[in-house]
Structure 1
């Protein structure tokens, strides 16, 4: 992928439009401040700063990179700066602008485990040293220019705010996928939360559609520009390949999907493959294909600004996984599941069901807020997507599993307490914009994929005026509501107002409704035969932003659970 705003040397890559900086420690590592100042990499970054809008001082705007760097070295060695029009105050103000300019990038260091085993074993230490180096260089220049030491020190991540270690692993590669063999897998990831990142797009549009060709035929990319995040999506093994300009998305996956280890990859064939950021696709939309010969679900997402929104990566992964579940005769559930331990000794598991914005995550948060002394402990098993499986061994059992170890939620829908309590673990996307999101880890992989019994399944109804919870008297009435997938859209996608989505799940069931319907029938038959509570919870999110009505509804839900 070539772009006039993509600039690189052998050891640094800058995407100016997407504010991404990749530092390749396999090619070069800086041991001290002058090593850094004398490098081609420093000259490249300074050049971009001098030509940027962040450089707002007219006397500095006239300089070239070499002159600017020479001035910094003169300051460090206590020499007079050879520029009569530039005072210490002016240069200090410029240094602050330059420091802010560099730190406005997502800065990721990369090391390959095979390139240097000694360094690889000190993965975190290597990155810490570089951050110390940049901080120390900045402070030395700052204190010399202000002619005094600082009294307050802020240990910001000056050099990088993320680091990845990559590894090449041999996997069971069908011949059609040989072009992917040389792309390295992410093996270890270090994030420095709270990680604030930005993307050009902040909303998902449209649906993912099937195509009759395999998207791998479109992959003609340079392998050095790509990474693979090997993920455990539920019980599916997914190889998520992404172009380096989508590092914001790729790193965000660390808070959402379990990172598969080399033993999970070695000699294994993935269930799912996603090619994210293809320069060649059929139109500028996202597609999927079931490679029947190799039994791999393959997705493609084009390289453009629209697809920088993290929802495209998350939801395409879930679409592929859900299609895989349907193919295995499991029922994908667009919902959240929570297990509650009550003070009366009872433990109940509740699944909230509904499309984006219906109130699934908000209902769980409301439970936490009003729990009081009724609840000892509450555990979120999954926050967005799970599946129901009718046990083939035990015909009297149905169990639920989740897909994600984290939650991708709107900041507007979180209370300040929840948002701030998770700040030290969160990845924040476009935090100052509408539909701002945070990705926070919520549970362990083992707990997410464990087989969980279900005590209650409720549809999150965000459009009706009623308050409380309503139990469906008949199976057909329940199926009609769940299959209609009605909701009032809250701006999380390009939909507005009242909308309907087949089975409230545009990520699998919508694509394959005829294959999904028999599974829906079997699940509802089981639930009503076993007298399991199936109802709807009135969340009011389409009408009442105060959450007072939601709290009343959730309180009624708690009362029902405690008496079941």
Structure 2
């Protein structure tokens, strides 16, 4: 892949203003003090890029200097060589330093260390990254305080150097014929995040449906070890190798709050169930596709390199689409919804699955239940937040299983208390925009993939004017509603107004409707034989933005769960 024209690169530093991503490779270059930092080629390139960008709008005369003179002036300040900077207005230099510091920190900055099977590196990688952050902070403060002539009285320990640090590792796995180009791409082994992480992308909404192609996307992959990385994810019981271009590090790092990172033992000698190639130069129609490699029993996804796909929803939903297709071929039923296990004050515990497409009111129903319950609910445990599956055990009983260990949630759907209580763990995406999202850890992988009993399954109906809860008297009526997948789209994707989606799930069932229908029949038949409550909750979100009606429906739901 050609390097983006706006990107700047040295041996150990890569920065792309078009994607607001910076990558620092400690194996290639590691500074040990502020003097090494200010004399580094990486710092010189950063200054050069900053001045190029600032000259478009800045009125600061100090920023009219060339990059070499600018950097030499900072060096003079650092060693108290007044002849090297006294001809410039100190206030202008100070303002420029503040702006340069803010410019660098506006990027999503990730550092890399390849572990080379070294236990020393593995144990110390966070200390190595902490030290780099301290050096960046020291350099900024040293120049700032020398210019202003006095020490600060208040210090803010921000993430000056990086937002995240990643250990990478080369791991051997049985690469099928045709996939050899992936052999040299390093896996993310261990990640250290510095939350709260505020990330910004050019796109903030997902569009369209992923569809199949006749040719394997692997033929288009020509990435190298420098540009590409692999996040090895456990998605439910699937093993997925998620390959992404470094310009998509925002999404690649955010995966750590959503999926379990597969360890070396889970990768070495193991063929994955799914492979995703995220950031290919060319795809058919410049949209997202998948391919079923039946010979190698692999599901392969492709996502093009463009502004639109910077939205995290593309990476998350393509991963889940590949997983769901794999589940369908394993005779399991993908469920687009949320599952919670609720412990009540009367001693009862119920597992409830809320079902529906984006914006139907699944998360809102759970939140409304919490708000009206007072002390009647002791605890709500999230089993899965967006996608799970129903399957059959050896005795023929239906159980539910999750996919993600985290939750990708609209900020508008969270109460202020939930949002603030989780701030120290969250990854926030475009928090200032409409459809802002946060990715929060929700549960352990071990708990998510357990076989969970189902007490209630309700469709989130946001389009009818009724209020309350409705139980379907028979499986035919229930199936008709669940399969129709109606909802009033609220603009969380590119759809607005009334829409229908087969089984409310455009991520697998829509693509394989013929294979999904027999599994749907089998699941509904068993649930009704076991007298499991199957119904719908009227969320009213297509009519009542105040959520008063939803709270009335939640009261009926609470009564049903506690007293039956």
Give the TM-score taking structure 1 as reference length.
Answer: 0.98
User: For the Cα contact (< 8 Å) 2:77–2:84, is it kept in 1?
Assistant: no
1:290 matches 2:292? yes
Partner Cα distance (1:215, 1:334) in 2 = 26
Tell me, what secondary structure is at the counterpart of 2:54? Answer: coil
Map 1:21-170; keep pairs closer than 5 Å: 21-53=22-54, 56-83=58-85, 86-114=88-116, 118-170=120-172
Q: Give a deviation string over 1:405-436, Cα, whole Å, max 9, x none.
A: 00111111211111111111111111111111
Match of 1:548 in 2: 548
Map 1:255-274; keep pairs closer than 5 Å: 255-274=257-276
1:506 matches 2:543? no
Q: Number of residue pairs matched?
A: 562
Tell me, what secondary structure is at the counterpart of 2:204? Answer: coil
Tell me, what secondary structure is at the counterpart of 2:75? Answer: helix
Match of 1:459 in 2: 459
Give unpaired runs (5+ residues) of structure 1.
none
User: For the Cα contact (< 8 Å) 2:117–2:169, is it kept in 1?
Assistant: no
Partner Cα distance (1:127, 1:84) in 2 = 35
Q: Which moved more, 1:369-378 or 1:260-269?
A: 369-378
Give unpaired runs (5+ residues) of structure 2.
none
Map 1:334-483; keep pairs closer than 5 Å: 334-391=336-393, 393-395=394-396, 397-483=397-483
Tell me, what secondary structure is at the counterpart of 1:473? Answer: coil
Match of 2:173 in 1: 171
Partner Cα distance (1:412, 1:390) in 2 = 36
Q: CA deviation at 1:361?
A: 1.4
Partner Cα distance (1:170, 1:222) in 2 = 16
Match of 2:328 in 1: 326
Partner Cα distance (1:36, 1:191) in 2 = 23
Partner Cα distance (1:376, 1:419) in 2 = 20
Q: Which moved more, 1:375-384 or 1:67-76?
A: 67-76
Tell me, what secondary structure is at the counterpart of 1:294? Answer: coil
Give the TM-score taking structure 2 as reference length.
Answer: 0.98
Tell me, what secondary structure is at the counterpart of 2:285? Answer: coil
Tell me, what secondary structure is at the counterpart of 1:51? Answer: helix
Partner Cα distance (2:166, 2:541) in 1 = 39
Residue 244 of structure 1, aligned match among 227, 243, 246: 246
Tell me, what secondary structure is at the counterpart of 1:424? Answer: coil
Instruction: State the Cα RMSD in Å.
Output: 1.2
Tell me, what secondary structure is at the counterpart of 2:22? Answer: strand
User: For the Cα contact (< 8 Å) 1:489–1:496, is it kept in 2?
Assistant: yes
Partner Cα distance (1:165, 1:541) in 2 = 44
Q: CA deviation at 1:221?
A: 2.2
Q: Give a deviation string over 1:312-359, Cα, whole Å, max 9, x none.
A: 110000000000000000000000000011111111000000000111
Partner Cα distance (2:88, 2:324) in 1 = 62
Q: Give a deviation string over 1:342-398, Cα, whole Å, max 9, x none.
A: 11111100000000011111112222222211112210110000000022x212x11
Partner Cα distance (1:186, 1:128) in 2 = 19
Q: CA deviation at 1:116?
A: 6.0
Partner Cα distance (2:226, 2:247) in 1 = 12
Tell me, what secondary structure is at the counterpart of 2:191? Answer: strand
Partner Cα distance (2:451, 2:221) in 1 = 38
User: For the Cα contact (< 8 Å) 1:211–1:287, is it kept in 2?
Assistant: yes
Tell me, what secondary structure is at the counterpart of 2:253? Answer: helix
Q: Which moved more, 1:368-377 or 1:319-328?
A: 368-377
Q: CA deviation at 1:222?
A: 2.5
